[in-house]
Structure 1
Amino acid sequence: MKKIIILFNLLILSLFCHAQQNEFIIAENYFRNNEYEKAIQLYKRLYDQSPYNTTYLKKLITCYQETEQFTVAENLLTQKLKEKPNLSYLYVVLGYNFERQEKIEDANKYYQKAIESINKKANYGSLIAGLFKNYSKLDLAIEAFNKVMEINPKANYGFQLAQIYGEKGNFEQMFKSYVDLVDKNEGYLNNVKRYAGKYLTDDSEDENNILFKKALLRKSISNPKDIWNDLLSWLFIRQKQYNKALIQNKALLARNPDNLGKINDLGKIALENKDYETAKECFNLIIEKTNYPRDKFNAINNNLKIAIETKQPDVEERFNSIFKEYGINSKTLFTQVEYANYLTFTKNTPEEAATVLKNALNFTNSKFIKASIKLKLGDVFVYMGKFNKGLIYFSQVQTLFKNNYIGQEARFKVAQASYFKNDFTWAKAQLKILKGSATQLIANDAADLFLTISDNEPKDSIDTGLKEYAKADLLAYQNKNDEAIAILNDIITNYRGQSIEDEALFKQAQLFVKKKQYDEAILNYAKIIALDKEGIYIDDVYYHMAELYNNELNNPEKAKEYYQKIIFDLPSSIYLVEARKKFRKLRGDDI
């Protein structure tokens, strides 16, 4: 019998809760639609049923205030405080009720009562501060949070304080709060980077960047910790000051050998951004100090890449020196692959490269590494114009890794090789699949090549210049830039007025930039604009012109002109965010 009564009571309670929940949903809907009178009826009933539910109370008070029933709200709050004087956060609500009536003196009286109550009831302190923040009483919110932390040193409201200072535009205090937060608990480091990073730019002279750096330097003097070097390094990387970031990482390394990994990461970033001196210094440190052979040989290979990129005269000697010291074996496997890349695309001896790669396949059992070597072998054969041999290697990898990134890369290479050999139908079939690839970079490349073929495919046996364009593309792939430029010239002359003309002009402009013939590139871009101001290349053209004027031709006024065209004429461009940021920087805005 008892079990039946319990079950019956539980059922009644469940039905009651369900009914309350439905009423609350309806009340919230009225509230969102500013139908406050209707909402009042429901919130009042809900509050009467559950007088300890602060959500119902606060919603009901807000509805009274929105309908200017301030006396009713005051009476309800006063009665609640009389019943439960420990609910001191209600002083904030009562104070705001007076502020809505422009009774500022009365409002301030209750706001101060709320602040003073924190001394006795510190556990309500964060709620009081939160209410002040919701009512945009930011200075009082700061005072409340600080009082809680004064009473309880273990409390940490650094994030809340930093956000409030940010809302006030007091960025100096905001950064100080973030730094204090990390000082108390280093576990907040990544969150601080994420939130503080929203206010920082890549400009070392930006006021916010300077304020953040000052906050870090002050703290590093008053309370030295490794974490300040870490944050300074992070800031310098954002500002692309990789040499300064390295100084901070060296300081960390001197205190802890485990920080070598950060130097390795910095080296990769510096290499990617073409700061070859800093990258080389990073990799030299890895080679000297690491205990892990893999890291050592990765650093050796990266230094070789730098030597190739900077056209050092002794590159071949360096490769031979490494093979002499460490042998041609599994240890130097990736160096062998890098050597084959050099032999093909720099030295123009692809036959020798193919021999190196075939031999390298013997030094690994990893199917992934074998696949990457096969892709490189395929590249070498495509470079030689032996497309069918290249396709064999690409297809092997594609079949083995259908749903993997490396399989998608192989499929793109199949499409590209087919395009080079003028098998446009098969190329399009592969590219159509890849356009939906999970890998954004491959998807973008696939979409670009698909459009090139689709827009210029021969129709009704009429030559459209696509075969010649594919030939120029192959020559560019082979780093035979002068020959590629010559063929593109023929296309521009022979197919004037056809859709391939702007493609050829754009491709040729890219090759001119590669050869540092910037004036010729600008001329080509101008021709594309003259052809069609609404063409598919127009935002690419504006952005590339702006970048050339900004970075290579030292003409900031012209750079601003083309960034501005993207901002005002092409608001849906993928370059919009970067164009706006760079335009404002050139204009001298406080970003």
Structure 2
Amino acid sequence: MQKQILVLLFILGWYSGFAQNSEAQAESYYKKGEFKKALIIYENLLKEKPTSYKYSTKLVDIHQQLEQYKEAEKVILDQLAKRREPDMVVTLGYNYQLIDSLETANKLYEEAINFADEKPYYIYTIAKRFEDYSLLDQAIRLYEKGKILTPERNYNTQLARIYGDLGDIEKMFENYIEFINYKPNYLSNIKRAIADFISENKDNENNIYLRRLLLKKIQQEPQPYWYEMLSWLYVQEKAYNKSFIQEKALYKRNPESLERIIDLANMARKDNDDDTAKSILNYVLESTQDQTIALTAHQYILEIDSKNADKKTLEQIDETYQNLFTEFGKSQLTIPLQLAYGKFLAFDKKDTETATEFLKESLKLNIRYYRKAKIKLLLADILVLQEKFNEALIFYSQIQAEMKNSTIAQEARFKVAKTSYYKGDFDWAESQLKILKSSTSQLIANDALDLKLLITDNKFEDSLQTSLKLYAKADLYAFQNKTNDAISLLDKILEEHQGENIIGQTLYKQAKLYEKKKDYIKAETNYQEIIKNYRDGILTDDAYYYLAELYNSYLEKPEEAKKLYEKIIFEHQDSIYFIEARRKFRMLRGDSIN
């Protein structure tokens, strides 16, 4: 008896595996569009398992793909004879619609919709089948019916998605807002869902719809999530001052954390809205008793003030740093402020010697390895600034040894490669960059790949590597903020090395430096030269994108910008700029959906 059971189990297991393999093969044929081959397998599978809803539904779909509507009808009717499932009634109706029997189709659709009155728990199943066939009006009717018949369930996200597909953005927003009221903890998901429908332009119709809905909700029921949503909308519009008003309202209701407000200040300063950023940070200083938060706010204010500051202002900022160290001391707590001060001394005051001495003193403090690594990284950067390459390489190498396999160790390895490249030691730089191609940090991996390609493409151009050495020196000047010297050296390459591979890269590097100097006309000329004469190179999409940005943001040529964004959309789909180019193209075209 036991032997017979084992044999039976073996046969059942073998059959189950055989059926799974057959189904996988049929699905593979289906995905490739080889419907006739898929049809044969699914017909056999259905014969072996005649009650399978999955196989019958797939068979109907394949028959319809092959325009075999009578055969599809037979499969549907066989299933309905066994059990009149309402979603299969929808399928039958759709089959009639495909042969233009609309009256019969609509009767069947009504039957399926009315079925929900008796058994409302079928609403989602029936509506989903309507959605599968793009019968969106019928799906809407069912979901709206569901709101009445099953108020304990929620169909707002389904309705919102359908209204979005139909282009009825106002109703889409209304349903998403209703869903937030139902499940406030899904707020982040809803933000992601509607982000593509919102523009940076506050006068965009969609923005106006959403803003109006949120303001109405705040008046009716001032829940925290409405303030948060409105704050998010203002951030999308880069109206950071208005977002700050909402964040203050939120903080006053629940004064537990200033993290959101500090994040907002960071976004404002990254977008060069320095006045708003400083207002936010001063509010943080007025509101906190936490030393770490206060130090962060002080640091960000000083970094804002350091931008383009004259000599007198730089001295005042230096004095403020000193006062903060007197108040808070030099310890583990103030390491971020010490790093900021070291950077300020080297890059703003150009006092690299004092910066180096200050950071070497910071290294003597009793602090964690990661903090020491951060100090060493900045110290090494400043040594590169001074062209003390060998000393810089020692600090970078120490970080790699002490913080193995960490992101900061990978960053140090990249900087070893970059320093070697500045020195003209291209072979060693290339060997380090090869290792970094698989870095866990995508940003480091991308930077490593870019530098490796630059070296590989140009180091064999001539035996002396003259043009590459000039380019590396110009790159160093750019790092040292000697912008004019860098531009002059790049001019030398353009004059003396015409016809070499490095010319396209030189034009691009110079264009970015012209942008830094706000010399947008010269930058425009360089980008146009790349597009005209180096369109087969790897920098074509970069040139298209940044030239479009110039036209869009500085040179007031929106139509020209639109053409260039369109070039990226249709000719460079694999470009890293594709998504942003598409968004900005749609905005310039005036699409209601961004």
Tell me, yes or no, whether TM beats 0.5: yes
Q: Percent identity?
A: 41
Q: 2:231 aligns with which of 225, 230, 233?
A: 233
Structural mapping, 1:53-452, within 5 Å: 53-59=52-58, 62=61, 67-69=68-70, 72-73=74-75, 75-76=77-78, 79-81=81-83, 87-311=85-309, 313=313, 314-452=316-454
2:241 is paired with a residue of what secondary structure? helix
Structure 1 residues 519-546: Cα deviation after superposition (integer angstroms, max 9, x where no partner): 2333344444565443443333333222
Question: Is the Cα contact below 8 Å between 2:19 and 2:45 reproduced in 1?
Answer: no
Residue 396 of structure 1: how far off its partner (Å): 0.4
Quick one: distance in 2 between partners of 1:174 and 1:138? Answer: 13
Note closer, same or farther for the CA distance 1:561–1:118 as it changes in structure 2 (3 Å cut): closer
1:153 is paired with a residue of what secondary structure? coil
Quick one: distance in 1 between partners of 2:566 and 2:90? Answer: 48
Question: Is the Cα contact below 8 Å between 2:497 and 2:503 reproduced in 1?
Answer: yes
Residue type matched to 1:205 in 2? D
2:414 is paired with a residue of what secondary structure? helix
Structure 1 residues 140-176: Cα deviation after superposition (integer angstroms, max 9, x where no partner): 2112122223122110122211122222222221121
Residue type matched to 2:454 in 1? T
Residue 458 of structure 1: how far off its partner (Å): 6.4
Q: Which moved more, 1:559-568 or 1:429-438?
A: 559-568
Quick one: distance in 2 between partners of 1:569 and 1:75? Answer: 49
1:258 is paired with a residue of what secondary structure? coil
2:74 is paired with a residue of what secondary structure? helix
In structure 2, the residue matched to 1:457 is: 459
Quick one: distance in 1 between partners of 2:77 and 2:461? Answer: 83
Quick one: distance in 1 between partners of 2:112 and 2:405? Answer: 61
Quick one: distance in 2 between partners of 1:381 and 1:526? Answer: 37
Residue 589 of structure 1: how far off its partner (Å): 4.1
Q: Which moved more, 1:130-139 or 1:290-299?
A: 290-299
Question: Is the Cα contact below 8 Å between 2:331 and 2:367 reproduced in 1?
Answer: no
In structure 2, the residue matched to 1:34 is: 35
Question: Is the Cα contact below 8 Å between 1:64 and 1:72 reproduced in 2?
Answer: no
Residue 249 of structure 1: how far off its partner (Å): 1.1
Question: Is the Cα contact below 8 Å between 1:252 and 1:259 reproduced in 2?
Answer: no
Quick one: distance in 1 between partners of 2:63 and 2:486? Answer: 76
Question: Is the Cα contact below 8 Å between 1:40 and 1:64 reproduced in 2?
Answer: no
Residue type matched to 1:127 in 2? T
Quick one: distance in 2 between partners of 1:483 and 1:557? Answer: 35
Note closer, same or farther for the CA distance 1:46–1:213 as it changes in structure 2 (3 Å cut): farther
Quick one: distance in 2 between partners of 1:71 and 1:498? Answer: 68
Quick one: distance in 2 between partners of 1:468 and 1:484? Answer: 10
Residue type matched to 1:55 in 2? K
Note closer, same or farther for the CA distance 1:444–1:21 as it changes in structure 2 (3 Å cut): closer
Residue type matched to 1:201 in 2? S
1:331 is paired with a residue of what secondary structure? helix
Note closer, same or farther for the CA distance 1:139–1:419 as it changes in structure 2 (3 Å cut): same
Quick one: distance in 2 between partners of 1:484 and 1:226? Answer: 52
Structure 1 residues 39-73: Cα deviation after superposition (integer angstroms, max 9, x where no partner): 5742542453xx3x432443455567653327635
Quick one: distance in 2 between partners of 1:419 and 1:386? Answer: 14
Quick one: distance in 2 between partners of 1:503 and 1:100? Answer: 57
Note closer, same or farther for the CA distance 1:528–1:464 as it changes in structure 2 (3 Å cut): farther
In structure 2, the residue matched to 1:544 is: 546
Supply the RMSD in Å over aligned alpha carbons: 3.0
Structure 1 residues 431-451: Cα deviation after superposition (integer angstroms, max 9, x where no partner): 222233222222222222223
In structure 1, the residue matched to 2:472 is: 470
Question: Is the Cα contact below 8 Å between 1:43 and 1:60 reproduced in 2?
Answer: no
Q: Which moved more, 1:321-330 or 1:359-368?
A: 321-330
Q: Which moved more, 1:406-415 or 1:552-561?
A: 552-561
Quick one: distance in 2 between partners of 1:9 and 1:463? Answer: 76
Residue type matched to 2:161 in 1? Q
Quick one: distance in 2 between partners of 1:347 and 1:449? Answer: 29
Note closer, same or farther for the CA distance 1:54–1:381 as it changes in structure 2 (3 Å cut): same
Bigger RCO (CA 8 Å, 6+ sep):
2
Unaligned runs of 5+ in 1: none
Quick one: distance in 1 between partners of 2:527 and 2:480? Answer: 24
Quick one: distance in 2 between partners of 1:572 and 1:30? Answer: 28
2:332 is paired with a residue of what secondary structure? coil
Quick one: distance in 2 between partners of 1:71 and 1:443? Answer: 56
Residue 317 of structure 1: how far off its partner (Å): 2.5
Residue 79 of structure 1: how far off its partner (Å): 2.7
Question: Is the Cα contact below 8 Å between 1:418 and 1:427 reproduced in 2?
Answer: yes
Q: Which moved more, 1:123-132 or 1:513-522?
A: 513-522
Structure 1 residues 92-133: Cα deviation after superposition (integer angstroms, max 9, x where no partner): 344444444544333333322322222221222211211222
Residue type matched to 2:254 in 1? N
Structure 1 residues 456-488: Cα deviation after superposition (integer angstroms, max 9, x where no partner): 336664452333332222222111222333333
Note closer, same or farther for the CA distance 1:106–1:548 as it changes in structure 2 (3 Å cut): closer
Quick one: distance in 1 between partners of 2:48 and 2:157? Answer: 34
Quick one: distance in 1 between partners of 2:79 and 2:253? Answer: 59
Question: Is the Cα contact below 8 Å between 1:419 and 1:427 reproduced in 2?
Answer: yes
> TM-score, normalising length from structure 1?
0.89
Question: Is the Cα contact below 8 Å between 2:328 and 2:334 reproduced in 1?
Answer: yes
Quick one: distance in 2 between partners of 1:71 and 1:351? Answer: 86
1:338 is paired with a residue of what secondary structure? helix
Note closer, same or farther for the CA distance 1:138–1:570 as it changes in structure 2 (3 Å cut): closer
Residue 77 of structure 1: how far off its partner (Å): 5.1
1:249 is paired with a residue of what secondary structure? helix
Note closer, same or farther for the CA distance 1:516–1:121 as it changes in structure 2 (3 Å cut): same
Unaligned runs of 5+ in 2: none
Residue type matched to 1:211 in 2? Y
2:404 is paired with a residue of what secondary structure? coil
Quick one: distance in 2 between partners of 1:102 and 1:530? Answer: 54
Quick one: distance in 2 between partners of 1:338 and 1:183? Answer: 43
1:107 is paired with a residue of what secondary structure? helix
Residue type matched to 1:285 in 2? Y
Question: Is the Cα contact below 8 Å between 2:284 and 2:294 reproduced in 1?
Answer: yes
In structure 1, the residue matched to 2:497 is: 495
Question: Is the Cα contact below 8 Å between 1:464 and 1:498 reproduced in 2?
Answer: no
Q: In the comparison of the two structures, how many residue pairs are matched? A: 583
Residue 261 of structure 1: how far off its partner (Å): 1.5
Question: Is the Cα contact below 8 Å between 1:280 and 1:303 reproduced in 2?
Answer: yes
Q: Which moved more, 1:222-231 or 1:342-351?
A: 222-231
